[in-house]
Amino acid sequence: MNLSGRKIVITGAFGALGSKVAVAVRAAGASVTCIDFSSPDRAPESLRGCVLLGGVDLGIPDAAAAALRAAAKQMGGLDGLVNIAGGFRWEKIQGGGIATWDQLYGVNLRTAVNAVQAALPLVGKEHGRIINVGAAASIKAGAGMGAYAASKAGVAKLTEALADELKDQGVCVNAILPSIIDTPANRADMPDADYARWVQPEQIADLVVFLLSNHSSAITGALIPIVGRV
Ligand SMILES: NC(=O)c1ccc[n+]([C@@H]2O[C@H](COP(=O)([O-])OP(=O)(O)OC[C@H]3O[C@@H](n4cnc5c(N)ncnc54)[C@H](OP(=O)(O)O)[C@@H]3O)[C@@H](O)[C@H]2O)c1
């Protein structure tokens, strides 16, 4: 899959999934800007060669706008935005607090909306792509997943509405809904699990590269589960 000449912003790119996606998108030939809340000195070595914009809180609209403008300036344009910034917390509703709902709404949905609204004035129409990372839990939430699933359901509805708004403007908007990703944090939290059943971050990265490519130009408004054998 060839992404030569494409200019792509990836949010949450210093994280477990984001860093693997950034490497794959760059390997396919694109220029990549990585945006993250963490400082640039926490960026993985593998992101060498990408533009690194650390210390950006995408929950703040002005910060998102400044970061997207800086990214487009550095790369000489913008063809795609991949929204991976986000977070997780397992907490039951019974005995839980409203603060968790606010926090996960902020980190998962607000960041995506702000990044999208910052990107739209900049994104090229020829190969325009917006890809949001939601979660399979937004289809069916289990115990302890209410606040997280609700925030990711918001990401799904952002995706559908935006795809409809942009369908005559040459910009495709899709979401990826992973189950459990094989990350160091998940291995630490679930040491007895069978990791082979989980989705590998590289498998999600392959799907992102496809969705950024010309081969996906008829796909928009899709919510694509990628669940491995979970
Ligand atoms: N891991 C899974 O099993 C799983 C399953 C389904 C969906 N997902 C989704 O996939 C995405 C990536 O997950 P992951 O496991 O790779 O998580 P991760 O390693 O924690 O990476 C997420 C990155 O997003 C950054 N971030 C958080 N809030 C931000 C903000 N306000 N502005 C800018 N950057 C921000 C984080 O920075 P800081 O660390 O500095 O806060 C972190 O570098 C998330 O959206 C997650 O909900 C994950």
Residue corresponding to tokens 């606010």:
102
Terminal Cα-to-Cα distance of the chain (whole angstroms): 27
Apex CA 147: angle with CA 42 and CA 107, to 5°? Answer: 30
For ligand 1, what atom is nearest to the CA of residue 108? Answer: 45
Known catalytic membership, residue 148: yes
For ligand 1, what atom is nearest to the CA of residue 152? Answer: 47
CA of 79 to the centre of ligand 1 (A): 22
Confidence at residue 60, expressed as pLDDT on a 0 to 100 scale: 98
User: pLDDT tens across 202-225, in order?
Assistant: 999 999 999 999 999 999 999 999
Label residue 1 by pLDDT band (50, 70, 90): confident
User: pLDDT tens across 51-110, in order?
Assistant: 999 999 999 999 999 999 999 999 999 999 999 999 999 999 999 999 999 999 999 999
Q: Starting at the earlier edge strand, list the strands of the sheet with 80-83.
A: 51-53, 31-35, 7-11, 80-83, 128-133, 171-178, 223-226
- In a domain? residue 18: yes
Query: Which residue among 85, 148, 171, 173 is the active-site one?
Result: 148
At 33, phi and psi to the nearest 5?
-110, 130
CA of 171 to the centre of ligand 1 (A): 25
Residue 158, Cβ neighbours under 10 Å: how many? Answer: 20
Name the token pair of 61: 């609209």
- In a domain? residue 135: yes
The 3-state DSSP class for residue 140 equals coil
> Which residue segment(s) compose the domain that 66 sits in?
7-226
- In a domain? residue 1: no
User: pLDDT tens across 147-203, in order?
Assistant: 999 999 999 999 999 999 999 999 999 999 999 999 999 999 999 999 999 999 999
- In a domain? residue 159: yes
Confidence at residue 15, expressed as pLDDT on a 0 to 100 scale: 98
Closest CA to 112 of 135, 146, 79: 135
Label residue 119 by pLDDT band (50, 70, 90): very high
pLDDT at 126 over 90: no
**Can you give the CATH number for the domain in which 21 is found?**
3.40.50.720
Confidence at residue 125, expressed as pLDDT on a 0 to 100 scale: 84
- In a domain? residue 2: no
Per the structure, the count of domains in the chain is: 1
Label residue 117 by pLDDT band (50, 70, 90): very high
Say yes or no: CB of residue 87 within 6 Å of ligand 1: yes
CA of 168 to the centre of ligand 1 (A): 31
Say yes or no: CB of residue 186 within 6 Å of ligand 1: yes
User: pLDDT tens across 23-48, in order?
Assistant: 999 999 999 999 999 999 999 999 99
